[in-house]
Protein backbone atom coordinates (compact mmCIF):
# COMPACT_ATOMS: atom_id res chain seq x y z
CA UNK A 1 0.00 0.00 0.00
CA UNK A 2 1.12 3.50 -0.80
CA UNK A 3 0.01 7.08 -0.02
CA UNK A 4 0.28 9.78 -2.70
CA UNK A 5 -0.25 13.54 -2.52
CA UNK A 6 -1.33 14.77 -5.96
CA UNK A 7 -1.64 18.42 -6.94
CA UNK A 8 -3.30 19.09 -10.28
CA UNK A 9 -2.73 22.37 -12.13
CA UNK A 10 -4.63 23.93 -15.02
CA UNK A 11 -8.30 24.50 -15.76
CA UNK A 12 -9.46 22.06 -13.08
CA UNK A 13 -12.03 23.91 -10.96
CA UNK A 14 -15.62 24.39 -12.05
CA UNK A 15 -15.50 21.40 -14.42
CA UNK A 16 -16.64 18.61 -12.04
CA UNK A 17 -13.05 17.49 -11.52
CA UNK A 18 -13.59 16.53 -7.87
CA UNK A 19 -16.70 14.51 -8.72
CA UNK A 20 -14.89 12.59 -11.45
CA UNK A 21 -11.92 11.94 -9.16
CA UNK A 22 -14.27 10.65 -6.47
CA UNK A 23 -16.03 8.37 -8.98
CA UNK A 24 -12.72 6.95 -10.28
CA UNK A 25 -11.42 6.44 -6.73
CA UNK A 26 -14.61 4.56 -5.83
CA UNK A 27 -14.31 2.41 -8.97
CA UNK A 28 -10.69 1.52 -8.15
CA UNK A 29 -11.15 1.07 -4.38
CA UNK A 30 -8.91 4.02 -3.49
CA UNK A 31 -9.20 5.72 -0.09
CA UNK A 32 -8.47 9.38 0.67
CA UNK A 33 -9.92 12.73 -0.36
CA UNK A 34 -10.04 15.44 -3.02
CA UNK A 35 -10.50 19.20 -2.56
CA UNK A 36 -10.26 22.49 -4.44
CA UNK A 37 -7.42 24.74 -3.31
CA UNK A 38 -7.57 28.55 -3.10
CA UNK A 39 -4.80 28.81 -5.74
CA UNK A 40 -7.06 27.19 -8.39
CA UNK A 41 -5.53 23.71 -8.19
CA UNK A 42 -7.12 20.44 -7.11
CA UNK A 43 -5.42 18.49 -4.31
CA UNK A 44 -5.80 14.74 -3.79
CA UNK A 45 -4.52 12.35 -1.16
CA UNK A 46 -4.92 8.74 -2.25
CA UNK A 47 -4.08 5.35 -0.72
CA UNK A 48 -4.07 2.03 -2.54
CA UNK A 49 -1.69 -0.60 -3.95
CA UNK A 50 0.96 0.72 -6.38
CA UNK A 51 -0.65 -0.64 -9.55
CA UNK A 52 -4.04 0.85 -8.65
CA UNK A 53 -2.50 4.24 -7.87
CA UNK A 54 -0.68 4.21 -11.21
CA UNK A 55 -4.04 3.90 -13.02
CA UNK A 56 -5.53 6.62 -10.84
CA UNK A 57 -2.64 9.02 -11.46
CA UNK A 58 -3.01 8.57 -15.23
CA UNK A 59 -6.69 9.48 -14.88
CA UNK A 60 -5.79 12.59 -12.83
CA UNK A 61 -3.32 13.67 -15.50
CA UNK A 62 -6.15 13.65 -18.10
CA UNK A 63 -9.13 14.69 -15.98
CA UNK A 64 -12.74 14.86 -17.13
CA UNK A 65 -13.75 16.04 -20.60
CA UNK A 66 -13.98 19.79 -19.91
CA UNK A 67 -10.84 20.03 -17.75
CA UNK A 68 -7.50 21.26 -19.01
CA UNK A 69 -4.75 19.65 -16.95
CA UNK A 70 -1.44 21.45 -17.45
CA UNK A 71 0.71 19.74 -14.84
CA UNK A 72 0.64 17.39 -11.87
CA UNK A 73 2.92 17.20 -8.84
CA UNK A 74 3.03 13.80 -7.18
CA UNK A 75 4.74 13.03 -3.89
CA UNK A 76 4.74 9.90 -1.79
CA UNK A 77 3.82 10.50 1.84
CA UNK A 78 3.14 8.73 5.15
CA UNK A 79 0.30 6.19 5.03
CA UNK A 80 -2.76 7.60 6.85
CA UNK A 81 -5.14 4.58 6.78
CA UNK A 82 -8.12 6.41 5.27
CA UNK A 83 -11.34 4.40 5.41
CA UNK A 84 -13.26 6.18 2.61
CA UNK A 85 -12.73 8.52 -0.31
CA UNK A 86 -14.56 11.82 -0.15
CA UNK A 87 -14.82 15.32 -1.51
CA UNK A 88 -13.92 17.86 1.16
CA UNK A 89 -14.03 21.64 1.22
- Is 0.75 surpassed by the pTM of this model? yes
**For the chain, which residues make up each domain, given as ranges?**
2-87
Please name every residue paired with 46 in a beta bridge, in sequence order, or none if there are none: 4, 32
For domain 2-87, the CATH architecture is 2-Layer Sandwich (3.30)
Identify the CA nearest to 28 among candidates 5, 42, 46: 46
Nearest to 30 by CA among 78, 72, 82: 82
Catalytic center residues: 18, 36
Over residues 3-50, the pLDDT tens digits come to: 999 999 999 999 999 999 999 999 999 999 999 999 999 999 999 999
User: pLDDT for 51-65, tens place per residue?
Assistant: 999 999 999 999 999
Q: How far apart are CA 16 and CA 65, in angstroms?
A: 9
- 18: closest CA among 64, 82, 79, 66? 64
Amino acid sequence: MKHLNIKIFGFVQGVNFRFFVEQKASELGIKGFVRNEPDGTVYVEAEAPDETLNKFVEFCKRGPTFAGVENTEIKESKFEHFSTFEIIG
